[in-house]
Amino acid sequence: MRSILIVLDSLGVGAAPDAERDRGADTLGHLFAHTPELELPALFSMGLGHVLAGNGEAREGLRGSYGRVRLRSPGNDSMSGHWEMAGVILNDGFATYERLPPQLVEGIAAKAGVEFLLATDRGGNRKKHEVTGRPIIELMPGESAIEISAHEALVPRRRLYEIGRIARRVANGYRIARVIAQPLTGKPGGYVEGKGRHEYPMAPPRTVLNAISEAGLVVEGIGKVPDLFGRSGVTHAHAAKENAEAVAVIERIWERMHDGLIFANLAEFDRLGHGRDVAGYAGALVDFDRWLAGFLPHVGPDDLLIITADHGNDPAYRDAGHTREEVPLLAHYDGVTGSLGTRETLADVAATLAEFFRLRERWKTGRPFLDFSRSKKVKIGLRG
């Protein structure tokens, strides 16, 4: 009994009804508008074209179920999206700031016994860091996250991680979702991000990942999934910064896996969105689609594949941050096709996984979008 949940990080399909600030955002729609040559045959075979067109009728040649999903939790960040698809709906969103609160920086500095460089210009700050040796602290654009970075020769990793742990405790009081410790490497004048990046997230409540792992099944977290959950419920963690690395890990695990869940985040899409790189984003989708076409034949009739996203990040939109959008929902299982409608919460993913793995507890948030109750024959579940 195997399942794969793949998150195409930031692949929104149009502004959500409650997206006051992001009206007009449409990550995937604008990618097609700006790159008319874009073709995604494998994703379209699973119903992505119907998601874009709003067509609720299944057509011949489809090999998946399809729909749209709205995020019920406030905000448009990765942690809210991933927690919700794991069954946790937030009443209060994580905090985002235009600039770092001085009291936050002062609190971390006092407890860690360190002086910081406040980020204003990334290149300029790294030059100052070479001279002063002070760690750099900065907000991640459009996210509820702060990053603390330092060159390993000036601030050893062990010390950087200690500062990160202290920052996590202080940031709890500001409801900041993620604290990131990022080592730098390279020669003076050419510092770059090095290996050893570590995230300190807010601890999640119990999720369906915990329920799956408690049932004795493996949960393989790929990319930033383990960090987003503080490894809670994740039995094995696999680093993967680039999409190609992530899908290579999926292939390796899938070949030897008998029971359990692979939960993978493909973060390269989000970075391209932040970089306003329309062509790069479209090219990355083409690469994933080609991989998917080759992988689908290895998904057996008893396996469940779910592809979705956590939020939007429209590279053709006016801002360089995340956008609150509906996201696609594609499911591949036992030849079942049809429309899943517009789901009201990403927690429907958690409810579906709980039903698929036949967990003792029926997940309390969300509603399954596939009905596994009648032996092997599966029906489209209740629409959102």
Q: With bands split at pLDDT 50, 70 and 90, how would you rate the model's confidence at 121?
A: low
Q: With bands split at pLDDT 50, 70 and 90, how would you rate the model's confidence at 122?
A: low
Give residue-wise pLDDT tens across range 83-118: 999 999 999 889 888 889 999 999 999 999 999 998
**Residue 145, token pair as written in the block:** 């996250």
Q: Could you tell me the domains of the chain?
A: 2-91+204-380 (3.40.720.10), 102-201 (3.30.70.1250)
Give residue-wise pLDDT tens across range 21-72: 899 999 999 999 999 999 999 999 999 999 997 654 445 679 999 999 999 9
Contact in structure between 167 and 179 (CB atoms under 8 Å): yes
Q: With bands split at pLDDT 50, 70 and 90, how would you rate the model's confidence at 379?
A: low
**C-beta pairs of 23-26 under 8 Å, 24+ apart in sequence:** 24/317, 25/312, 25/314, 25/317, 25/323, 25/324, 25/325, 26/312, 26/314, 26/325
The mean pLDDT of the chain is 91
Across residues 288-312, what is the average pLDDT?
97
Contact in structure between 355 and 372 (CB atoms under 8 Å): yes
Percent of the chain topping pLDDT 90 = 76
Q: Please check the confidence at residue 138 and state whether its pLDDT lies above 50.
A: yes
How much is the pLDDT for 60?
61
Calpha distance 189→172 (Å, rounded)? 34
How much is the pLDDT for 383?
44
Contact residues for 210 (Cβ-Cβ < 8 A; gap 6+): 232, 233
Q: Which of 36-50, 130-144, 224-238 has the lowest mean pLDDT?
A: 130-144
Q: Please check the confidence at residue 202 and state whether its pLDDT lies above 80.
A: yes
Q: Which of 40-49, 91-100, 148-157, 238-247 has the lowest mean pLDDT?
A: 91-100
How much is the pLDDT for 36?
93
Across residues 360-373, what is the average pLDDT?
90
Hey, how many other C-beta atoms are within 10 angstroms of the C-beta on 205?
A: 11
Output the CA angle 323-328-333, nearest 5 degrees.
Answer: 155
Q: Please check the confidence at residue 377 and state whether its pLDDT lies above 50.
A: no
Q: Please check the confidence at residue 266 and state whether its pLDDT lies above 80.
A: yes
How much is the pLDDT for 123?
54
How much is the pLDDT for 54?
64
Contact in structure between 317 and 33 (CB atoms under 8 Å): no
How much is the pLDDT for 20?
84
Contact residues for 362 (Cβ-Cβ < 8 A; gap 6+): 351, 354, 355
